[in-house]
Structure 1
Amino acid sequence: MAVNDHSNITILKEIAELLNEETDLIPMLKGALCKFLSGTNFETGWIFFIDERGKIELVAHENLPDALTFNNCQHLEKGGCWCVSRYRNNQLKKASNIIECQRIEAAIQSKTGDHANITHHATVPLQSGDERFGLLNVASPNTVKFSEEELELLESVAFQMGSAIKRINLTKQEQKLALVQERNRLARDLHDSVNQLLFSVTLTSRAGIEMTDNQNVKETFKEIQQLTQSALTEMRALIWQLRPQGLESGLLEAIKAYAEMLNTQLTVNVSGVIQFPSRVEETLFRISQEALNNIRKHAGVQEAIIYMTVTQTDILLVIKDEGRGFVIDPEKSLPSMGLQSIQDRASALGGTADWVSEIGKGTELLIRLPY
């Protein structure tokens, strides 16, 4: 396979332009992979993201033969292979030929589709500086070994992709920081204005009760005081949701503090090591917030139990109460925004949210997140 220097410069320029224009990570990688394959003699390719724990995710692929696309790319998604193993051990530093690929071999041996004479592939890590993101693999029919020039071209494209991935990740971090700052500002404004105003109303209504002998007026002031106190509790809960307090002291301490703020007696049972990435930790905290809010508003009790079990692959969070319970009609939407929020938050991390509830016998919320 001859490699033309001028055409290589052209394809690298076109890929660089695409990577600089795109702001959505996965479409960006798919577009760059497609452009790379269309401008070279490589015919198929796929990209793995590999996290810090070694878990792989197939995020993009192009022109895969039937044997590799079978059953949602099951042979690429599962099993072991040399390139991933070397990557996990930090031994894959540059573009390399793969002598044999267990994933491709498994696809061929399964006889679930034509493998289009794809038997070997080249691989290169996607990285930027010391940060590593995953692997770019490419292959061609009837090709066992790629030339040094081809591997150099592959390495140049991988470098471009790695830099673009880092740029988008940094942009997302900046957006998250801006969001946190705005939420903190809103929380401060609510605390300094609405929260203080509600507190003043409770004091005024309390004074009104003491200042009149008219029983009807007293009852009116009492009702105002109760409604305002409920609104004040709601406002404090909202401020907590906008700006989580206590996560710096640990997830469980933050959940306990939130339950205390709601005047809910909470029992916590933990199994396993509670040490999560920040995104997982905040998701668990937000789900616990929603669950405790639902208990306070709808269960009619002021006690709850939390069970948290951490295994090598999953986090199981169970929040249980012995309140009035509810029944969900499977043909209708969820009965509250809180339950929908819990389900959405779990799904965003690839997890699940389920409920077991019975009228008069309480509710059990079961959350499972991959870890």
Structure 2
Amino acid sequence: MNDPSHVTILKEIAELLNEETELESMLQGSLEKFLEGTDFHTGWVFFIEENGKHALIAHENLPDILTEQDCFYMKTGGCWCVNRFRQGRLRKASNIIECKRITEAIDRSKVNPEGITHHATVPLQSGNERFGLLNVATPGRREFEAHELALLESVAFQIGSAIKRIQLTKKEQEVALMQERNRLARDLHDSVNQLLFSMTLTARGGAEMSEDADVKETFHGLQSLAQEALTEMRALIWQLRPKGMEGGLTEALNGFAEMLGLKATIKIEGVLNLPSKVEETIFRIAQEAITNCKRHAGADEIYIWIDAASDKIDMTIRDFGRGFYPDHVEKLPSVGLSSMKERTRLLNGEFSLKSHPAEGTQIKITLPY
């Protein structure tokens, strides 16, 4: 590790890691910089979850055969390094005798992936927490020397520490956001919500006290507007600080729909054991759809189907209300629909919308996890 070039590459990667705040861009950037400063040519990063499922998070200079079909050979099946990681037996940088993914690609396509058959692997970890694997390869190389593996371990240690830092920062941001939502919800409840409630009572009292028909009608109009604004305000407070989530999605969504005066028919298939981020996204999208149904559909019932698999969740939301032409919404974007699409995109999900006047609206999302 006394090689000056090693010190330089470690310094440059450390500077990049200190600047980055997003996980994927950090991994991609550090991988690119590592390959630029060493004799390694190709690299990729797997994240491996507690259940053993792996995901390709970053890659650079992969041979063409390995990028085909959206990196099919890299994303499917198992291999020695991932299996050893799952078993807790991969603790340091190691030479892989032969890469199963690469040999399968060669066998199926009969094309040698640019001379790459072997790679080195190193776990990404911070303390006792393990996140995944950093793999690197070079055409024509079947084995890497001790000093190269030592450099790989040093880089992996830096990246592991940066992953932990980013995760902690994200958690702090989520806690801060939750606290701010709770504060805003309390403020709205204690001020605006109470004012609107008082306005409905005052308008009703004014209507009862007056003998003039026009004045009565005016007060009734004010009462109706104030009541509508009060319902909207309660929905906003609920969105900021949802009640009932501790009882599960069904209870929370039923409660929200009931508050808006809608009946929600909810059917769930499979066992819901979702990461908190996925569960919140499912809830927020369904919540937005229920709100849109109340405001625009003219329906009094909404149907929600949730199908949970081991690696993804599908949700379909349907009403039989007014409906609309989706291309008109594309020209004049709806804030609600944009929010649902953005929430889906952030979790690498799929969003689809079907609607037609007098036939209602259907929204379907698929979220991987």
- Quickly name the TM-score band, shorter chain normalised: over 0.9
| Contact 1:314/1:368, CA 8 A, preserved across alignment | yes
- More divergent stretch after superposition (243-252 vs 358-367): 358-367
Identity across matched positions, percent: 60
CA-based RMSD: 2.2
Shift of 1:88: 2.5
How far apart are the structure 1 equivalents of 2:311 and 2:158?
33
Q: Hey, what does 2:82 align to over in structure 1?
A: 84
How far apart are the structure 2 equivalents of 1:32 and 1:274?
36
SS at match of 1:290: helix
1:324 is matched by which residue type in structure 2? R
Shift of 1:358: 3.4
Q: Hey, what does 2:161 align to over in structure 1?
A: 163
Shift of 1:297: 1.0
Question: Which aligned pairs between 1:253-272 and structure 2 lie closer than 5 A?
Answer: 253-272=251-270
Q: Hey, what does 1:351 align to over in structure 2?
A: 349
Specify which of 194, 197, 200 is matched with residue 195 of structure 2: 197
Q: Structure 2, unaligned stretches of length 5 or more?
A: none
Shift of 1:113: 6.2
How far apart are the structure 1 equivalents of 2:70 and 2:364?
28
| Contact 2:204/2:220, CA 8 A, preserved across alignment | yes
Pair 1:368–1:33, CA change in 2 (3 A)? closer
Q: Hey, what does 1:11 align to over in structure 2?
A: 9
Specify which of 50, 66, 71 is matched with residue 68 of structure 1: 66
How far apart are the structure 2 equivalents of 1:137 and 1:47?
6
Specify which of 278, 292, 298 is matched with residue 300 of structure 1: 298
Q: Hey, what does 1:46 align to over in structure 2?
A: 44
Q: Hey, what does 2:310 align to over in structure 1?
A: 312
Pair 1:18–1:366, CA change in 2 (3 A)? closer
How far apart are the structure 2 equivalents of 1:331 and 1:358?
12
Q: Hey, what does 1:23 align to over in structure 2?
A: 21
Specify which of 102, 127, 134 is matched with residue 132 of structure 2: 134
Structure-1-length-normalised TM-score: 0.92
Shift of 1:238: 0.9
SS at match of 1:163: helix
Aligned length: 369
Kindly report structure 1 stretches of 4+ aligned residues shifted beyond 4 Å.
Answer: 110-114
How far apart are the structure 1 equivalents of 2:55 and 2:328?
32
Q: Hey, what does 2:338 align to over in structure 1?
A: 340
Specify which of 242, 245, 249 is matched with residue 244 of structure 1: 242
- More divergent stretch after superposition (302-311 vs 19-28): 19-28
Shift of 1:184: 1.6
What do residues 135-158 of structure 1 show as CA deviations (whole Å, max 9, x unaligned)? 100112222122333222211111
| Contact 1:65/1:114, CA 8 A, preserved across alignment | no
- More divergent stretch after superposition (61-70 vs 134-143): 61-70
What do residues 241-260 of structure 1 show as CA deviations (whole Å, max 9, x unaligned)? 11222212222211111111
2:264 is matched by which residue type in structure 1? L
Q: Hey, what does 2:95 align to over in structure 1?
A: 97
Shift of 1:329: 2.3
Structure-2-length-normalised TM-score: 0.92
| Contact 2:305/2:317, CA 8 A, preserved across alignment | yes
